[in-house]
Chains A and B, each alone.
Chain A
Amino acid sequence: MSSTATFKIWRGDANGGEFRDYQARVDEGMVVLDAVHQIQAEQAPDMAVRWNCKAGKCGSCSSEINGMPKLMCMTRLSDLPLDQPVTVEPMHTFPIIKDLVTDVAWNYRAKKMIKPFSPRPPDAPDGTWRVAQADIERIQEFRKCIECFLCQNVCHVLREHHLEDKFIGPRLLTFTAALEMHPVDIEDRLYDLRKLDGIGYCNITKCCTKVCPEEIHITDNAIIPLKERVVDRFFDPVTRLMRAITGDGKK
């Protein structure tokens, strides 16, 4: 049983653009990315769109559907009101390249500034570590991240204030949390978090958490604990004093 629906897709490039209307056939089980592909194959062959896995695993197909930041491949048409046109537009926060494709290179550059994983010496002679499952569960949550950058896209610090040179955003705070809470890692990133990564700019609005397709508790499980560590280190006089006495600077 097939019907049709109208899709308003943003077409254009860095110099500007507009929404254009397309009709697409709708079959059971279709997702927005299927409709976009159908339109691309039959009506708009030069339309630019990123995708890879079509199963919510690669984080390529981020966009804003009816104004909501979403993965196109995981948004089913049956969950949208098809009596009205479905709008599909690129993420707003990042510079437009063309149509639905934005320039997300900043995220890659910013990640490179974060101090990489640095393990303690191995626990066993064969060069391996002994780590309990219970101790890695919380960072395994962060490592589910598919780098769709939807959280970066909605964070007002980036979306409205464009403080990209002062604030690394929720994705990269989650990334840093996975390193800081890694039971084997011995690097110290707290100074950077405060001074370079701008963790203080986050005012815990939780918008990032709401859009994460991997359902990572970005704010509660990653950002807030990092903020607490930063506060303990730099603002809590008792801890500071203790550290001066014991010489213990590590986590």
Chain B
Amino acid sequence: MVQYDTHEHDVLVIGAGGAGLRAAIEASAQGAKVGLVCKSLLGKAHTVMAEGGVAAALANVDDRDNWKVHFADTMRGGQYVNNWRMAELHAKEAPDRVRELEAWGAVFDRTKDGRILQRNFGGHRYPRLAHVGDRTGLEMIRTLQDYGIHKGIDVFMEFTIIGLIKDGARVAGAFAYDRERGLFHLFTARAVVIATGGIGRAYKITSNSWEYTGDGQAMAYDAGADLMDMEFVQFHPTGMVWPLSVAGILVTEGVRGEGGILKNKDGHRFMFDDIPENYRQQTADNEEEGWRYCQGDKNARRPPELLTRDHVARCIVREIKEGRGSPHGGVFLDIAWIKKKIPNAEEHIKRKLPSMYHQFLKLADIDITKVPMEVGPTTHYMMGGIRVDGDSQMSTVPGLFAAGESAAGLHGANRLGGNSLSDLLVFGKRAGEYAAKFAKENGPVAVDQRQIEELGRRALAPFEENSGNHESPYQIQKELQTRMQELVGIVRREDEMNQALELIGELKERAKHVRVEGNRMYNAGWHLSIDLHNLLTVSEAITRAALVRKESRGAHFRDDYPNKDNTLGGFNVVLRKSTEGMKVSMEPLREMPAELKQIIEEQQK
């Protein structure tokens, strides 16, 4: 018999990043009794790391902006496989959600007339990102945290959910261990919101922390929910490449928004060489125009460094592959050059990009106000995830909701920078609201003891493993990360992905024999051994989805199918658990209403 404590709530929120906190605050405001569980301490979730800003068409800096432009930008960035309803709601509601943060104490940078300042970012037509220097995520999570702690939410820090519990078709709660003592806990709830973030730890070079092991996606999948768009993994064009120990750490797009330019080893500004047709009209013709854009000239068009992330990442890969990279296998990102253009450039850079300045000085001995940085692509963001209803954020399992990076839909094939923080707020709120509503409208749940026994047994197995071929969870994680990076990375091919599938199958077998040492108290090796199941599940989902999308679209690039395919562009790839394993299906996009189509057409100009 597995021993555990029981905690009862109306709504259980898993994850305390921006999405989870916003969901918990909303559910609580609707009168639900809310439990909030997170793997780390409060305020340490990934959201804290976001740098550049939160996208919302406030039109404080450029009054031509409005929700329609934001909607069209998001759809174009996502290559039109987005859930258009989510893109619409997101564009309409983001301004209110950002203003609400200010009412809760957030302190954004200001315009001259005292309103929230907005900056340029890739793929956004107008300056749209509300920000605080380059630490916007910290401001956001701290605001939500400091507001949320006064709202009667039960917070369980350093608790890890290892699986969902179901009552028939419906979700009934979740099973967890606490890190401190390693004891089990049952959380029963009438509705559950998953807000567990991404999957970056399935790759070797990533901007993501240890938390991003795809737990939410995997537990939802195991509970029968659909996953969608898992082939769309965003590789951010600019991660640190040197020193090796910090490879992958993000260099915010804000550097380019402030005028930073990309150059190869010959000092050539290569981004001007390849501008995609559908962005040509919005892109600067020459360097001078690009600079004027960064300076806020409304008649100028954006420099090519601010094209969408998928495109910039591929251009960088091309330069490196063709031998024009920087000494440590990246390219140069130069912000220091702006001293030719403005007085006091050094002070300006330090004020606008303080944490980048600090990060390079401390970790790489590089003063970015004086010399260029070396950068290269890093695994950054999962566009896909749990398939949800656009309005309510409910998954295909009744009572199970998802929001934030763990959910799919808003970003389609490629996310625009800044659209994640706004996603967390808009859909965190919606998920919380609809989860509370669901809890109110549906009766209590019954818990099936067998499911608990099964989860508990699986979690403890690594302590009992004593077969001759046991191994360390660290070894398996390392192999998976290295191979996923090589085989299912930025540039993909059928044969390589088939190899990846084979490897994943093999690692799944080997993962059954991981052994951990020590006891259950705060045991890192044990925690990782439990995460392996999730890492392997999402890796398989990414690979299977990428195999069937035989075209290149957004972040998904196939060497063997380098072009877009209009037929495939009409489908999402959906993954579902079945008795024969992971089932892949292509599901047609829902038809977009005429008004939205018209907006897209108008904005094409």
Contact = CB atoms under 8 A, between A and B. Distances in A.
A128 B478 CA distance: 49
Interface in B75-122: 99, 102-105, 107, 109-110, 113-117
Contact of B522 (A101, A119, A129): A101
B48 A58 contact: yes
A55 to B, nearest CB: 5
A52 B40 contact: yes
B139 interface: yes
Q: Which of A34, A98, A111 has most chain B Cβ within 10 Å?
A: A98
Contact of A45 (B103, B244, B518): B518
A239 to B, nearest CB: 28
B24 interface: no
Given A28-B243, A29-B245, A143-B139, A57 B49 contact: yes
Contacts of A139: 107
Interface string B469-485: 00011100010000000
Contacts of A98: 180, 521-522
B521 A13 contact: yes
A99 interface: yes
A104 B49 contact: no
Given A132-B110, A136-B107, A41 B474 contact: yes
B49 A55 contact: yes
A47 B209 CA distance: 18
A107 to B, nearest CB: 9
Interface string B137-165: 01100100011011000000100000000
A53 B209 contact: yes
B210 interface: yes
Contacts of B138: 57, 143-144, 146
A163 interface: no
A51 interface: yes
Q: What's the dominant secondary structure at chain A's contact region?
A: loop
Given A52-B209, A132-B114, A40 B524 contact: yes
A98 B521 CA distance: 8
B115 A130 contact: yes
Interface string B512-523: 000011110111
Contacts of A49: 524
B526 interface: yes
A196 B388 CA distance: 47
B450 interface: no
B358 A46 contact: no
B359 A56 contact: yes
Interface in B382-431: none
B64 to A, nearest CB: 18
Contacts of B363: 29, 31, 55, 74, 76
Contacts of B474: 40-42, 45
B132 A143 contact: yes
A126 interface: yes
Contacts of B521: 13, 48, 97-98
Contacts of A41: 472, 474, 478
B526 A116 contact: no
Interface core residue of A52, A97, A133 (most chain B CB under 10 Å): A52
B40 to A, nearest CB: 6
B524 A116 contact: no
Contacts of A188: none
Contacts of A29: 242-246, 363-364
Contact of A112 (B150, B246, B362): B150
B135 A128 contact: no
Interface string B180-217: 10000000000000000000000000000111000000
Contact of A117 (B44, B48, B105, B250): B105
Nearest to A127: B99
A59 interface: yes
Nearest to A45: B525
A13 B180 CA distance: 11
B348 to A, nearest CB: 14
A54 B522 contact: no
Contact of B103 (A13, A58, A59, A119): A119
Interface in A12-28: 13, 27-28
A105 B249 CA distance: 29
Interface string B228-243: 0000000000000011
10 contacts: A41-B472, A45-B472, A45-B474, A48-B523, A49-B524, A54-B246, A55-B359, A59-B43, A133-B109, A136-B107
Interface of B: 40-46, 48-49, 99, 102-105, 107, 109-110, 113-117, 132-133, 135, 138-139, 142, 146-147, 149-150, 157, 180, 209-211, 242-246, 249-250, 355, 358-359, 362-364, 472-474, 478, 516-519, 521-526
